[in-house]
Chains A and B, each alone.
Chain A
């Protein structure tokens, strides 16, 4: 019954993407998510951590446990000061990519998590907040 302590790690190299995945896996397990949800959360984190590294060069991820009556959850936030996303609707469309990817990262993360919020503007950097809940 140890709650997850909030924390932050930098994302500025490829190995930080691996570290972000591991951190998120541990935290999600500690919050009590089942194996499938843990995999969903880690996969979403992997997508967004790679986007930070690929499009902004560097940034950070923070995580914390959420508590509400009847449910518990995890919040992940990816913060960078890169170029920002000019058209969020477009970026959320499946298959849209400026980086020769499948364009599945953002829309995929949205489907895997319960909530996804994007704060961004051209030249202003990007902050993406993800939440996943489980009933208790």
Chain B
């Protein structure tokens, strides 16, 4: 196969371009992030302390029976330590995960197996709560890709709001195969 490629490769070689990062000085990263994530269907909240977070959580998810947290900052009622197979998370109503950083341009958060502990948590849960330090927002996709460390993570995902589809009659529906909603709590630590 390599021989076939070599035989057919165009003779005129094209040089690799220099890639600018297109940063704009003075950009309000938190505000941009909020606008972007709202467009992608996420909801955002500024959280001052744990109490406020608990109260908001209770308001947002009054019917949640199974809450599973991947961060030591939050205690759910289903422990990831007891999970022996990823499918066991299928009954999770709300998952709480701390993201490493966010991306202002798109409203994405970066999650790897180190944040998720069990990868299926972010996809089987009906709803996601993402904790994000407002100082950990990268400006755009160029700056964001400098921060992802693919050497250190077998799996890493930029999550931009809840799962979505428009495959039935081109109508946007939030909550396709993955989470139906994503709430982002801005907090340095809880």
Q: Do A and B associate with each other?
A: no
